[in-house]
Chains A and B, each alone.
Chain A
Amino acid sequence: AQRVTQPEKLLSVFKGAPVELKCNYSYSGSPELFWYVQYSRQRLQLLLRHISRESIKGFTADLNKGETSFHLKKPFAQEEDSAMYYCALKEGAQKLVFGQGTRLTINP
């Protein structure tokens, strides 16, 4: 059963427009969620974790337990935000389960 779902494989927005990358999860316990980003030809990097309630590179994500969602948002997209974004759920002590990923393209 899919535990992390990113419904959009591809998302394209114009520079300066708001961005929202969707992530839904299914987990019976108390979830710990993360967003990872992979820029072109680079390694996967941790973008943010819900437990820290941080904002990184202008991105935020709020855990909504009622909707079982952890959408990633940015009010004004920049061209350098173009990348592959993965939502991940921590299962058990150490395993991260990743969603299918969303390729975000920011058009000039």
Chain B
Amino acid sequence: DTAVSQTPKYLVTQMGNDKSIKCEQNLGHDTMYWYKQDSKKFLKIMFSYNNKELIINETVPNRFSPKSPDKAHLNLHINSLELGDSAVYFCASSQAWDRTNYGYTFGSGTRLTVV
């Protein structure tokens, strides 16, 4: 039973298209994140939601819009895709108050290729 699941796993699309990536966690965590891993494997936070409320928004172009319908789901919608958006996008979740066991649980990633 996958703890953090992302769909789709692979996404190939043309420049200018709009696409969405979905993420769901069944851990009961209160915080969810989107990270981008570029071609050099550098991981950078994009967004974070805590109980459906946006708490981190890291200088990401506004073509990227996260949506959290409930605390178990965090989706990422990308408008007008550009070549530079090609990357692996990771969803993650954590439980903020659990200091002893704090850590992210990651999804398996979505490899987005813009052609």
Measured between beta carbons, the chain B residues less than 8 angstroms from A98 are 35, 42-44
Measured between beta carbons, the chain A residues less than 8 angstroms from B40 are 100
A22 near B: Cβ within 8 Å? no
- Contact between A43 and B108 (Cβ–Cβ < 8 Å)? yes
Measured between beta carbons, the chain A residues less than 8 angstroms from B44 are 98
- Contact between A44 and B99 (Cβ–Cβ < 8 Å)? no
Which of these binds chain B: A11-19, A46-54, A62-70?
A46-54
Over the window 80-115 of chain B, the binary record of Cβ atoms lying under 8 Å from chain A Cβ atoms (1 yes, 0 no) is 000000000010101010011011111111000000
- Contact between A90 and B109 (Cβ–Cβ < 8 Å)? no
Measured between beta carbons, the chain B residues less than 8 angstroms from A40 are none
- Contact between B106 and A45 (Cβ–Cβ < 8 Å)? yes
Over the window 67-108 of chain A, the binary record of Cβ atoms lying under 8 Å from chain B Cβ atoms (1 yes, 0 no) is 000000000000000001010001001111110110100000
Measured between beta carbons, the chain B residues less than 8 angstroms from A96 are 45, 104
A42 near B: Cβ within 8 Å? yes
- Contact between B45 and A95 (Cβ–Cβ < 8 Å)? yes
A101 to B39, CA, bound (A): 12
What is the interface size of chain A, counting residues whose CB is below 8 A from a CB of the partner? Answer: 23
Measured between beta carbons, the chain B residues less than 8 angstroms from A20 are none
A45 to B74, CA, bound (A): 20
Measured between beta carbons, the chain B residues less than 8 angstroms from A32 are 102
- Contact between A94 and B96 (Cβ–Cβ < 8 Å)? yes
Measured between beta carbons, the chain B residues less than 8 angstroms from A90 are 102
- Give residues in A with beta carbon < 8 Å to B: 32, 34, 36, 42-46, 49, 51-52, 84, 86, 90, 93-98, 100-101, 103
- Give residues in B with beta carbon < 8 Å to A: 4, 31, 35, 40-45, 48, 50, 55-56, 90, 92, 94, 96, 99-100, 102-109
